Amino acid sequence: MQTSTASLNVEDIIQSVRNEFGEKSKLFKPIVLSMNALVGAEFEATKAPGVYVFVHDELGCIKIGKSHSNASKRALQHCGSDNTSSGDGSVQMSALRHCDKTHMLIFALQKEESTHWVLALEHYLENTLKPRIPSKRNG
């Protein structure tokens, strides 16, 4: 899925994962949360190993990452204590924390014995979506 990241949406991302991973995509439950609505049962379900993707309605894919224990906790660290930003400083994660145009897509792992697939999914998404803030360990 090579596309302009500004034109993609979370449904496109979910479908690309299903297309690429086939049956293995069922190891993950995709959960989409608005950044200003991080409460309730859906948010609780993101507190699992998985891959997170920050998507902005206008800017496209912002950041991708993974956690082997709690994907949403790690994702939100980018918006808080880490204040992750793009190389040129034009995108600040802390500024997106309460933005109604920003969504957090979590691919929550459903089977703990399949943790190795977290790495594969993160790598696939990082290479196909080309986030505005790439992972430092991949570059």
User: In the chain, where are the structural domains located?
Assistant: 5-134
pLDDT in tens, 81-123: 777 878 887 887 888 878 889 899 999 999 989 999 999 999 9
Residue type, 48: A
CATH of 5-134, one of 1.20.272.10, 3.40.1440.10, 3.20.20.70, 3.40.50.2000: 3.40.1440.10
pLDDT surpassing 60 at residue 4: no
What confidence score (pLDDT) does residue 87 get?
Answer: 80
pLDDT above 50 for 1: no
Whole-number average pLDDT of the chain: 86
Return all residues near 80 (Cβ < 8 A) that are at least 6 apart.
94, 97
User: What is the structure's pLDDT at 84?
Assistant: 82
